[in-house]
Amino acid sequence: MPVRQTMRPSFLITGILAALPAGSLKIATSLQWIEHTPQAYAIENFYNGSSAASLTSGGVFNLAADSSVDLAANAETQGLRVLPDNKNIRLIYVICEAGYRLVASRASGIETLADLRGKRIGTMRGTSAQYFVAKLLETAGVSASDYTIVAGGVCMRAPCGEGTFPQMLADGQIDAFGIWEPAVELGIQALGLDDAVVFQNTSIYREVYSLYTTTEKLADEETRGDIVEFVRALNQTLDVFTNQPESVYSFVADEIGMDAAVVEDVWTEHKWTGTWDESLLDFIVQEDQWLANEDGRAAVSEAELDEFLDESIIAEL
C-alpha cells in the first residue's frame, strides 16, 4: 500500500516501513509539495512493479544515508548539495519544472526588480528558493548583499498563520518573498491584485524537480526493473497531469491539504516534463558553482555533472 503524508516520519520508520515486504520500492520524497504528487498518483493508478511501492517523508539525502531507500525526489538544488560527497547519486527523470515567482508589495514602494534593493525578502536558505531569488535579482543588478533575507514558513491554504510568508507580507513584516507554490499565490491573494507585484523569469530559473537513485540501485537487476516500472507509471501520470488536469486538481489538493481552486490557480506554473534537454547540464553547472561558493567547497567537475544526468532509465521505457 502506498504510504501517504498523513503519517509522520517517525511512525513511518518504526511502523509501516518495517512491515513492508522485502523488495518493495522505497521512495523518499517531501510529502508536502505539489511537485511530489505524481508519485502518489502513479503508485495508486499505474505502477506494476514486482511488489508494492511506498513514499516516505524525506529526500535525496536519504539515498546517501540509508541503503534501503531506492529512489528519491527533490529539487535539483538538493541533488547538487548531496552529490559532492556521494558521487554515486544519479538524476534519472524530471517530474516537474516549476517556475518560481517572487511577489512584492507596492505599499513597500516596489514596482521593478531594482526596487528590491535594501528590502526585506522572505525565502528559505539552502533551498532552490534562495537560489531563485539570487538569480532573479542578479538580472536587475541587485546582489545578495543588497537585501536582507528573512526566514519564514510556507502556507498551503488560507488563512495563512503567523510566521508564514503570505501573512508576513500582508502585515508588512517583509517587503517581498520568493518560493515555490502555493505560498506565492496565497501571498498575492492576501495582498490583493492591486498591491501585488509579481516577478518571474523561467529562462533565468525554474525548479527542476527530479527523481534520483544510486549507481548501486541501477546495477541491481530486480531494483532496476522496478525503477523502470515506476518511471513508466510516472510517464503515464504526467500525461494525465498535462492533458487532463481538471481530473487531478482534487487529488492533488487532498494529498497536500490545499484547496482545489488554488491548485488550479497555480497549475500553469508547473510543467510535467518527464525529461530534459542538453541545456540542463549548463544549468546545473552554473547552479553548482553558486552552491559551491555558498557552502565553501570546490565545484563538481562538468564531466561528473554530465555523469550525474543519467538517461539510461528513460532509454529503457
Interaction site with ligand NAG (CB under 6 A): 46, 48, 139, 201, 203-204, 232-233, 235-236, 239, 314, 317
Nearer to ligand NAG, 10 or 203 (CB): 203
In angstroms, the CA 303 to CA 299 distance is 11
Nearer to ligand NAG, 46 or 251 (CB): 46
In angstroms, the CA 133 to CA 127 distance is 10
Nearer to ligand NAG, 30 or 223 (CB): 223
Would you state the cell numbers that stand for residue 306, as one nine-digit string? Answer: 554530465
**Cβ at position 139, least distance to ligand NAG in Å:** 5
**Cβ at position 110, least distance to ligand NAG in Å:** 16
Nearer to ligand NAG, 96 or 300 (CB): 96
DSSP percent split of the chain into helix, strand, coil, nearest 5: 50, 20, 35
Nearer to ligand NAG, 46 or 267 (CB): 46
Nearer to ligand NAG, 57 or 128 (CB): 128
List of residues 6+ apart from 182 with CB closer than 8 A:
34, 155, 156, 258, 262, 263, 265, 266
3-state secondary structure of 197: strand
**Cβ at position 203, least distance to ligand NAG in Å:** 5
In angstroms, the CA 7 to CA 32 distance is 12
What value, to the nearest 5°, has the Cα angle with vertex 37 and ends 267 and 249?
Answer: 45
Question: Residues in the chain, how many?
Answer: 317
Q: Which one-letter DSSP state was computed for residue 14?
A: I
Q: Which one-letter DSSP state was computed for residue 29?
A: E
**Cβ at position 155, least distance to ligand NAG in Å:** 26
In angstroms, the CA 246 to CA 242 distance is 10
| Distance, C-alpha 306 to centroid of its chain | 21
Q: Containing H/E element for 188?
A: helix 183-191
In angstroms, the CA 33 to CA 50 distance is 27
In angstroms, the CA 291 to CA 299 distance is 8
**Cβ at position 232, least distance to ligand NAG in Å:** 4
- Backbone torsions φ then ψ of 89, nearest 5 degrees: -75, 140
**Cβ at position 24, least distance to ligand NAG in Å:** 16
Nearer to ligand NAG, 92 or 256 (CB): 92
**Cβ at position 251, least distance to ligand NAG in Å:** 17
Nearer to ligand NAG, 6 or 244 (CB): 244
What is the end-to-end Cα distance of the chain in Å, rounded? 24
